[in-house]
Structure 1
C-alpha cells in the first residue's frame, strides 16, 4: 500500500504525485477507444461538478506524461466497465462516540496499488482517504470527523456521468457533517449504483442508496447502520451474491445489535476480521477478497488500518491527519 501526502493547490498536488510515481517506473495504462468515447461524454459533467478535480487530473496527466483525456477517461470509466469492488461498512454510536469499520474487497492482484493518502489541499478540509486509484477516494475521514465510504451495487445500462471516486473526494474536501454530504449526493450525476455510508461525531449516520436515476436515504436502526453490496428492498441480481453480500449484511446486523452499546476500536476490529460470516472476505475461486480494513473513532480521529486481510494483518494506527492538524494549530498560535 502506498502512503502519499498531497498538499498545495489541486494542480500542484496532482502533478507532484504523478512525478513521484513516474520516477519510480509508473506508466499510465493504455486507455481503450470505448473508455475515451465514454470520457468525451462525461468530462463536461465532471467540469461542471468540480473544477478543482479537473485541475488535479490535469496536473497528474502532466506529471506522468499522459493526456488529460486519457487520465480523465480512465478514471470516469471505472465501475462502468469491468470488475467492481465488494465491500462491508458500518457505523455505530455507543452513546458517546461513533466508531466506523470498513473492509475494502477487490481482486487480490490489485493489493499492491492500494493507497492511504493524507490530503491537505489549499483551502480544503484535511483528510485521510483510501483508494485503489491515483485520484479519487473510496472512503475517508476528514478533520471534522466526517466519514464517507462506498460499496458497489449492480445496475443496468451505461449512462454518462461520474463515479463514486469523485463523490467521496468532493465530500471529504468540502463537507463538515452528514447533512452537507447528503446535499452533495442529491445533486451528484452518478454513472453507477452505490451505497454511500455517511457518519459524523454527533451520532448522525445514514446510508444513501444511489443509482443513475434514483436517490434513497436509509436511516440507522438502534444507533447503528451498515451496508454491503445490495440496496435494501431491491431484487438481488442473478449471480451477484457470489461475494456473500447477503451473508455479510446479516452477520453485521447481528454483531452490531449485540455490541453497539459497548462498541470500541478493538471490538470493531474483531467484527471486521470475522471470516465465518464472510465480513473478512476470501473468495478463492475469483481471487477476490479484503485488501485492507479501516476502523476509526470519529470523535477522536484515531484511525487504525490493516493492510491486507484483517484476520491475518495487524491493525496499526495512522497518526498523520492528527499530526497535520496539530501542526497547523501550532503555526497559527505562532502567527
Structure 2
C-alpha cells in the first residue's frame, strides 16, 4: 500500500545563529530529535569539533549555538546530535548521480525513518546561499549554491571508520564556501573524513568530477564527457575499499552510462531517475533502500528541479532569482512511498 510522504520547505535569510534558532524551534516537537539522540553519541570531543569547524565553517558553530537555544538543549548535546562530527557508523545508504557540463541529477535512497524531510533554502552573511536537502539538520544530502556548484554524497563503506567529519557535513561545508569544482576538490582533500564516500560534483564552468574519499586518502576521478557516481569506488587504487557485494551499485552505474548516448535534456534525465518504474528508483524502504527524493540542477538555466518519491508535481526553482530575494510560494513537497505490513 502507498503512504503519504511529505517534505517541508523552509526559506531563511538571516544570520547563522538565527538560522539555527529557527530550525531548533521547528524541530522542538519532532520525532527526529529522538531519532538522532538515539543514533549519536551522548558527547563528542568538543575541542576537536571546534578546531575543524573554526577553520572550515565557523558559521556552523553559530548555527549550532542557535539550534541549542531554539531546542532549549545544552550546546554540547546539540553538537553531538547535529554537527556530523564523530557520528557512529550508520547503515548503508544509496545514491545515484549523472553529471555533465549541462546539468546534475541524482536520487537519494534510504529509509524515511532516518530522514529529516527538509528542503532548506538559506542565505546568510559570509557564506554562499544554498538550497539542499538536510541531513542531521546542518548537513546536506545534496544541494547547489549561488555560484552554481552542485554536490551530493554517495556511501561506499564504513569499515575504515574513524573520528572525523561525516559526509553530509562535508557537503554543507562545500556548499557554504566553494565556488567551483576545483575549490570543492581542494577542500575535500583537507577535511578529516570519518568514512569511505564518493562525492559527485559539477559547476557552472563546465567542470565535473567524482571525489573518492576515505579516512586514509582522497582521489579524484574524471571522465571526458560525463560522470556517473554511485556507491562504489571506481579508481583502481581505491577498489579494495569497496564492500564485498556491490552488484546493485554496478547495475545502476551501467544504466547511467547507457543514458549518455541518449542526449537527454535535464527534464528527460530527471524523469529517468524519478519515475517509479526506473532502474534507478527503489521501494525497499523497510530494508533502508527506498528512493526518497530526486534533485537536479541546470548549469545553463540556473534552475533546480526536485521532487520526493512518487510526487504529485516537480518543483522547479529559479535559484538565481531566489538568491536575489524572490522567495518561492511552495512550503511542502508531497509524494508517496510503498509500505508493507
TM over 0.5: yes
Partner of 2:256: 252
1:326 matched to 2:329? The reply is no
- The alignment covers a number of residue pairs equal to 313
SS in 1 for 2:155: strand
**Residues 40-51 of structure 1 aligned to structure 2 (within 5 Å):** 40=46, 42-44=48-50, 45-51=52-58
More strand by share: 2
SS in 1 for 2:98: strand
Q: CA separation in 2, counterparts of 1:284 and 1:189? A: 31
Note the C-alpha offset of 1:299: 2.2
Partner of 2:126: 123
SS in 2 for 1:2: strand
Deviations 1:193-231 (A, max 9, x none): 11111111221101000011110000023x210111000
Unaligned runs of 5+ in 2: 1-6, 327-341
Deviations 1:161-201 (A, max 9, x none): 11112211111112111111111111111111111111112
1:266 matched to 2:267? The reply is yes
Counterparts in 2 of 1:9 and 1:127: CA distance versus 1, 3 Å: same
Partner of 1:14: 20
Counterparts in 2 of 1:157 and 1:120: CA distance versus 1, 3 Å: same
**Residues 32-71 of structure 1 aligned to structure 2 (within 5 Å):** 35-40=41-46, 42-44=48-50, 45-71=52-78
**Residues 209-220 of structure 1 aligned to structure 2 (within 5 Å):** 209-220=212-223
Greater CA drift, 211-220 or 82-91:
82-91
TM-score (norm 2): 0.83
Q: CA separation in 2, counterparts of 1:79 and 1:240? A: 24
Partner of 2:107: 103
Contact 2:85 2:164 in 1 (8 A): no
Q: CA separation in 1, counterparts of 2:19 and 2:276? A: 38
Q: CA separation in 1, counterparts of 2:287 and 2:31? A: 27
Q: CA separation in 2, counterparts of 1:36 and 1:323? A: 42
Counterpart pick for 1:237 among 240, 243, 267? 243
Partner of 1:332: none
Note the C-alpha offset of 1:295: 2.0
Contact 2:40 2:81 in 1 (8 A): no
Contact 2:189 2:218 in 1 (8 A): yes
1:314 matched to 2:302? The reply is no
Contact 2:56 2:173 in 1 (8 A): no
Q: CA separation in 2, counterparts of 1:26 and 1:287? A: 18
More RCO (CA 8 Å, sep 6+): 2
Counterparts in 2 of 1:42 and 1:263: CA distance versus 1, 3 Å: farther
Contact 2:92 2:288 in 1 (8 A): no
**Residues 69-108 of structure 1 aligned to structure 2 (within 5 Å):** 69-75=76-82, 76=84, 80-93=88-101, 98-108=102-112
More helix by share: 1
1:136 matched to 2:139? The reply is yes
Note the C-alpha offset of 1:313: 4.8
Contact 1:302 1:317 in 2 (8 A): yes
Unaligned runs of 5+ in 1: 329-335
